[in-house]
Structure 1
Amino acid sequence: MSHNLLKGKRGIIFGALNEMSIAWKVAERAVEEGAVITLSNTPVAVRMGDTLKLGEKLNAEILPADATNVEDLEMVFSKSMEILGGKIDFLLHSIGMSPNVRKKRPYDDLDYDLMMKTLDISAISFHKMLQVAKKMDAIAEGGSILTLSYIAAHRTFFGYNDMADAKALLESITRSFGYIYGREKGVRINAISQSPTLTTAGSGIKGMEDLMDFSERMSPLGNANADDCADYCIVMFSDLTRKVTMQTLYNDGGFSSMGMSLRAMKRYSNNEIEEFKNEKGEISYG
């Protein structure tokens, strides 16, 4: 159902790859709510993914670009303003990738060159995006910028690896740039910390399905899916949230506030308890 929350607004969505992508869902909802948008992803992602299909569906022009490259970002903002007929009202940074995760390098045996790529792609690209936009004065007064984070920025999750470091940096950039952009241009910047979601990027994380099961049992409302996240993004892009900035906002069914839930407790109490003797011959529980 459309509420015309973004009627007359212009936006850029970075990172829509296929129908599993949160960015894909956000793009669809933005147009449904009355916005006009452009889409951007890496040239290889545009070739290999379904971004062209989404562009045709939404009548949105696609601007292939490397979000870690300043000149590419300048092109995206310049052409978007030309295509859409004015400054940008909202922007989504939905970009993240860890070569170390892809190569199954554990956190205590990282390839540091790959780690720098993780940070550049998943976090520093957001700073570059914001800096380019600000220097070009590409974002309209009162505009809204979002990035997607995860609670691993604050807590340790097995298998999340150096992506956790990237998300922590991403949230720091949100706060630091949010202060400057808000003070000088009235632009708000926030991060949405989403439930584990089975996107193309998320599926590469070790134990993702088990993590989603655990999160589902822990969260009183259950996991938020990509459609739920898209709805939240639309509200954050709208004028209903004009005074919200520099925040990490949790869209996770309550998971971030939980210690132990009844559903999770029952899950573990129903499992057999592994018994073994320690070196003293005492009974211990694994």
Structure 2
Amino acid sequence: MAYNLLKGKKGLIFGALNEKSIAWQVAERAYEEGAEVVLSNTSVALRFGTVNELAERINSIVIPADATNIQDLENLIDKTMERFGGKIDFILHSIGMSPNVRKGRTYDDLDYDFFHKTLDISAISFHKVLQTCWKKDAITHGGSVVALSYIAAQRTLYGYNDMADAKALLESIARSFGYIYGRERGVRINTVSQSPTETTAGGGVMGFDALLDFSNRMSPLGNASALDCADFCITLFSDLTRKITMQNIYNDGGFSSMGMSNRAMAVYNRNLEECKDCK
């Protein structure tokens, strides 16, 4: 059901790849709620994804850009404002990738060139987007920026690797830039800490299926889906959340407040003997 929460608003969405992508779901929901949207991803991602189909469906355009490249971002912001005939009301940063995870490098055996790329792609790109928009005064007063995070920024989760460091940096950038943007231009900047979600990127994490099952058993409401996340992002883009900024908000079915659930303990007890020597 649509409520016209974003009627007349214009947004830039990074990271839509295919129908599994949270960014894809956000773009569809934003369109349903009355927004006009521009989509962006890297040229390589666009070749492997189906985002052009999404663009046709929501009457949008796709502007290729590497979010780690300032020149690409400057071109993207200029073309986006040209498309809209003015400033941007909301932005979604849904960008994350770890070469170490893709190559199966464990946290005690990281390739540092890969590590730098992880941080640049998954976190520093967020600062670059914000700084580029700041210098171009591209975001409307009262606008909203959201980046997608994960609880591994606060807690150690086996297999999440150097992406945990990237998410911690991402959340810090939201707070630091959130103060400046809020004080000077009334723009809100928040991160959403989402449940593990079956996306193309999420599937690359070691032991992802088991992590998905565990978090679902631990969460009183179960895991939040990509669509659940999209719905929540819509509220953060809307005028209903005008005073929420610099927050990391958990959209995870209650997982972040749990210690142990009955469902998870039952599985643990059944397997306790055969796994008593597990580390």
> What letter corresponds to residue 65 of structure 1 in structure 2?
A
3-state SS of paired residue (1:140)? strand
Equivalent positions of 1:5-84 (< 5 A) are 5-84=5-84
Q: Are the structure 2 counterparts of residues 275 and 137 from structure 1 closer, same or farther at C-alpha, using a change threshold of 3 Å?
A: closer
Within the alignment, does 1:95 sit opposite 2:58 as a pair? no
Q: Percent identity?
A: 70
> Match for residue 215 of structure 1?
215
3-state SS of paired residue (1:233)? helix
How far apart, in 2, do the equivalents of 1:114 and 1:12 lie? 28
3-state SS of paired residue (2:105)? coil
3-state SS of paired residue (2:64)? coil
3-state SS of paired residue (1:148)? strand
Instruction: State the Cα deviation string for residues 6-41 of structure 1 (Å, max 9, x = none).
Output: 000000000000000000000000000000010000
Q: CA deviation at 1:271?
A: 2.5
3-state SS of paired residue (1:129)? helix
How far apart, in 2, do the equivalents of 1:167 and 1:140 lie? 26
How far apart, in 1, do the equivalents of 2:57 and 2:275 lie? 57
3-state SS of paired residue (2:232)? helix
How far apart, in 1, do the equivalents of 2:267 and 2:205 lie? 23
> What letter corresponds to residue 161 of structure 2 in structure 1?
N
3-state SS of paired residue (2:196)? coil
Cα contact 1:90–1:145 (8 A) shared by 2: yes
Q: Are the structure 2 counterparts of residues 275 and 257 from structure 1 closer, same or farther at C-alpha, using a change threshold of 3 Å?
A: closer
How far apart, in 2, do the equivalents of 1:108 and 1:270 lie? 31
How far apart, in 2, do the equivalents of 1:71 and 1:188 lie? 25
Cα contact 1:217–1:261 (8 A) shared by 2: yes
> Match for residue 265 of structure 1?
265
> What letter corresponds to residue 123 of structure 1 in structure 2?
A
TM-score, length of structure 2 as denominator length: 0.98
Q: CA deviation at 1:266?
A: 1.2
> What letter corresponds to residue 164 of structure 2 in structure 1?
A
3-state SS of paired residue (2:66)? coil
Instruction: State the Cα deviation string for residues 74-110 of structure 1 (Å, max 9, x = none).
Output: 1111111111121000000000000000000010000
> Match for residue 234 of structure 1?
234
CA RMSD for the aligned pairs? 1.2
TM-score, length of structure 1 as denominator length: 0.96
Count of aligned residue pairs for this structure pair: 279
Instruction: State the Cα deviation string for residues 98-140 of structure 1 (Å, max 9, x = none).
Output: 0000000010000000000000000000000000001000000
How far apart, in 2, do the equivalents of 1:93 and 1:275 lie? 40
Instruction: State the Cα deviation string for residues 134-175 of structure 1 (Å, max 9, x = none).
Output: 100000000000000000001001100000000000000000
> Match for residue 148 of structure 1?
148
Equivalent positions of 1:189-204 (< 5 A) are 189-204=189-204
> What letter corresponds to residue 173 of structure 1 in structure 2?
I
Structure 2 residue runs without a partner (length 5+): none
> Match for residue 104 of structure 1?
104
Structure 1 stretches of 4+ moved >6 Å:
none
